[in-house]
Amino acid sequence: MTDGSSPVGSACVAGGGVIGAGWAARFLLHGWDVNVCDPHPDAGSRIEQVLDNARISAPALADLPMPAEGTMKIFASVAEAAGSASWIQESVPEELALKHKVLAEIEAAAPQSAIIASSTSGFKPSELQDGAKNPERILVAHPFNPVYLLPLVEVVTSPAVSIDTRDQACDVLASIGMKPLFVRKEIDAHIADRLMESVWREALWLVNDDIASTGEIDDAIRYGFGLRWAQMGLFETFRLAGGEAGMAHFIRQFGPALQWPWSKLTDVPELTDELVQKIVDQSEARSGGLSVRELERIRDRNLVGILRSLKERDWGAGAVLNEHDKRLAVPESSDLAIKDSEPMRMLELSVLPAWIDYNGHMTEFRYMQVFSDTCDKLLVMIGMDAAYVAKLGGWYTAETHATYVDEVGVNAPIYSTVQILLADAKRLHVFYRLHSTGDDRVLATTEAMYLHVGRESGRVCDASPEMVSKATALADAHAGLPRPEVAGRYVGQRKQE
């Protein structure tokens, strides 16, 4: 459904509660300008608190710089907020009459081309469209809290909404790092909430009947099946539980138990004052005195850790993050611009939140990542593209020596340079520097020797004449530059006079 494009525009969020503020944060951090409509006098401060969390956690998921943050304005009326928006996200409380009222106000104010999406967790699009002048542009985009971190968004349409509009909506949502899940048929509570509420009903009975406390139920989830579900879902998890025989065996073995009177999923305990108070007391005791804001920050840090682990494995929600990094990437130039008066300036970037260690500085691993990315750009510039590698081979790292000169913190602008010390048909001797952009001070260096290895032979061999020509031209241009003082030295030893 998505084409990889990254539209940046103006969004309107109607309702500045937890979900609306989360939508505002996601759009803002992806470069959109956002108008929030919320008549509450403290709407601005409440949204800023959510933004404070989002600004810390959301960029930590990306391995490329996020777009420049958009601007946010708070309005008391929909008419003021929606007038120039290309995307309107209705996020008011779950009352159908209220949603009809707000959607009517949005229709009256919004441009005809704007998509109007509802965050509703339960109502069907056709219910929301009842009485609308233009039902064909109203759909459901149901997210999950925190909206600025969790990628899933359920997209639900009615027959009034065209496939083109649906696809356009999915493209916009993908462009801000979300995973659109198209719900093929309208149904109350869509897909995910129906699943969550089935567990919620059973949990209420367990508390009501004094079988388990709220903390014990949470422990059953977070130490057990919740970990499996987070990375593999329900059916894939049960498929593995069937062993080599797979899902068929699992169903044959455990399916009959579904007929046994274990569950109360079709019934709900009466939410009496006593049951509600029991849940409140146990939940507050379970939190250990932590405030909601403190718990949100803990939740966000944990989610970032889980999501980054999945990202490293390109699995589940992590694969969504990797795809989004590709959207954020700016194609590097392959032009070979030779300068004989200075090392070639290569990468221009900034230190990402995910690159910071426990001391608040860029980690050793990320220094090396920048030098590796700089090497990749250099090799492309001299002709080592995917076709060359597939046919002839490429340059292999034989030896490196790194020095770490200075610290650098989060969001600091940095750049890398390359100086070619030697180039011939089989060898490429390169010296890299990493600089602070503001004052050009050297932050780190890496000296590397690469050998050209053949695709078929797996042995050192001559590079193509065209590649050798480009590499030696760079070496000749850099021949007059001062040799780096640390080039060729042993670990921890200065060159002897």
Confidence class for position 392, pLDDT limits 50, 70, 90: very high
Task: Give the model's pLDDT for residue 332.
Answer: 57
By the 8 A CB rule, do 460 and 453 touch? Answer: yes
Task: Give the model's pLDDT for residue 4.
Answer: 38
pLDDT in tens, 280-302: 888 888 777 788 888 888 898 88
* Of 70, 69, 67, 82, residue with least CA distance to 36: 82
> How many C-beta atoms surround the C-beta of residue 88 within 10 A?
29
pLDDT in tens, 98-127: 999 999 999 999 999 999 999 999 999 999
Q: Which of 270-284, 339-353, 469-483 has the highest mean pLDDT?
A: 469-483
- Percentage of residues in the chain having pLDDT higher than 90: 68
Q: Where are the alpha helices (DSSP H) in 75-124?
A: 78-82, 96-109
Task: Give the model's pLDDT for residue 384.
Answer: 93
pLDDT in tens, 393-423: 999 999 999 999 999 998 899 999 999 999 9
For the domain spanning 193-289, the CATH number is 1.10.1040.10
Q: For residue 262, is pLDDT > 90?
A: no
Task: Give the model's pLDDT for residue 217.
Answer: 95
Q: For residue 430, is pLDDT > 70?
A: yes
**What are the tokens at 68?**
């420049």
Contacts of 90 (CB under 8 A, 6+ apart): 14, 15, 99, 102, 103, 106, 116, 117, 118, 119, 120
By the 8 A CB rule, do 474 and 420 touch? Answer: yes
Give the class (CATH, top level) of 344-478.
Answer: alpha beta
β partners of residue 75: 37
Instruction: Transcribe 424-481 into DSSP letters.
Output: -SSEEEEEEEEEETTT--EEEEEEEEEEEEETTT-SB-PPPHHHHHHHHHHHHHHTTS
Distance in Å from the first CA to the final CA of the chain: 65
Instruction: Look up residue 354 and give its DSSP letter.
Output: G
φ, ψ of residue 176 to 5 degrees: the values are -105, 25
Q: What mean pLDDT, rounded, does the chain reach?
A: 90
Confidence class for position 238, pLDDT limits 50, 70, 90: confident
Task: Give the model's pLDDT for residue 1.
Answer: 39
Which fold, 10-190? Rossmann fold (3.40.50)
Q: Where are the domains of the chain?
A: 10-190, 193-289, 344-478
Confidence class for position 338, pLDDT limits 50, 70, 90: low
Would you call 415 helix, strand, or coil by DSSP?
strand
**pTM confidence score:** 0.77
Task: Give the model's pLDDT for residue 5.
Answer: 42
Task: Give the model's pLDDT for residue 6.
Answer: 43
